[in-house]
Amino acid sequence: MSDTTTPWLARYQSWRRPAEIGFWVGVLTIHMLFNSITAWIDLRNVAFVQPLVWELTSNLTVGLLIPALVAFERRFPLRWDTLRRNLPWHLAGTLVFCAVHVPVMMALRKAAYASVGASYQVGNWASVFAYEYLKDVRSYVLILGALVSYRLLLLRLQGEARVLDAPETAAGLAPVAGTAARPERFLVRKLRKEFLIAAHDIEWLQAQGNYVGIHVNGHDYLLRSTLADFLGQLDPARFVQVHRSFAVNLDRIAEIEPLDSGDARLRMKDGSLVACSRRYRDALGSR
């Protein structure tokens, strides 16, 4: 069965990073305005600019922390099979999130007030931290929930690959007995449909937490595996690791661009750029 990915999803990949940034900018801007108006109505006796500054500094700091939270969630993903192991890390993460958010936010407020010749009083730091921590836990959970939901949505739309089951192997859809450790094809599920991708069509691989991103003909699929384990199932004469997080199909490399640092950048035939670290460059040249 052929890949019937909707055209909009394929087009979205080139706009994915700006779209993700735009989403968070939009969400934080709306949150800032709503909270500013609510605080202004509650206080009544202050100029609107004051709650606006409070919310602007808070949401700006949260926005700066989101990339770190994205990286942290990738390192400690939350799924049913990892919940018990990674949840304590995220509980600790809420403390770190607040410990960074509060001082940076207060520093920005002091700078904003000082710019107009006023003084911003913080008050008791213990009370402030306790109060802000309760709000930061909520923010942390909501951001984390959005990240997990977004990842699951992309997983469903992009498709998830798996090694063919034994009955399918026996039916001739994968290598014969004796070579099962190196399957020739993988089954991909996408939008309630299934199709096969050939191992030799894989262009490059990327470690993504407990998944491996498989890049084939401009499409991305995820396989629940580590990069090292998955490479063990592929032909070592064709596939080689070039970075802690990347491996490539040697037949799909179009150009190797050396960098001053000793690393390199690989330009693949599909136009993608893949990082190659010094540690793996010798192995790449020996193939």
Reported as a single tens digit per residue, the pLDDT across 196-251 is 888 889 999 988 777 788 888 877 888 878 888 888 888 888 899 999 889 999 99
* Angle value at C-alpha 183, between 170 and 196, nearest 5 degrees: 85
The dihedrals phi and psi of 60, each to the nearest 5 degrees, come to: -65, -45
Contact 240, 287 (CB under 8 A): yes
Domain boundary among 158, 173, 188: 158
Tokens of 119: 């003084």
Q: What percent of the chain clears pLDDT 70, i.e. is strictly above it?
A: 86
User: In angstroms, how far apart are the furthest CA atoms of the chain?
Assistant: 80
| CATH code (residue 229) | 2.40.50.1020
pLDDT of residue 16 exceeding 70, the answer is yes
For the ranges 55-69, 115-129, 191-205, the maximum mean pLDDT occurs at 55-69
Q: Do residue 146 and residue 170 come from a single domain? A: no
Check residue 32 and give its pLDDT: 95
Domain boundary among 138, 158, 178: 158
pLDDT of residue 178 exceeding 80, the answer is no
pLDDT of residue 130 exceeding 50, the answer is yes
pLDDT of residue 81 exceeding 50, the answer is yes
* Number of structural domains found in the chain: 2
CA atoms within 13 A on the CB side of 133: 13
Kindly list the distances between the CA atom of residue 201 and the CA atoms of 157, 227, 246, in Å, as whole numbers in the listed order: 20, 17, 16
pLDDT of residue 144 exceeding 50, the answer is yes
Place of tokens 């990240």: 147
For the chain, the average pLDDT equals 84
Q: Which residues of 221-233 are buried (b: 16+ CB within 10 A; e: fewer)?
A: bbbebebeebbeb
Q: Do residue 233 and residue 265 come from a single domain? A: yes
Residues 6+ apart with CB under 8 A from 182: 175, 199, 233, 234, 235
What domain range is 251 assigned to?
162-285
Whether residue 179 lies inside any domain: the answer is yes
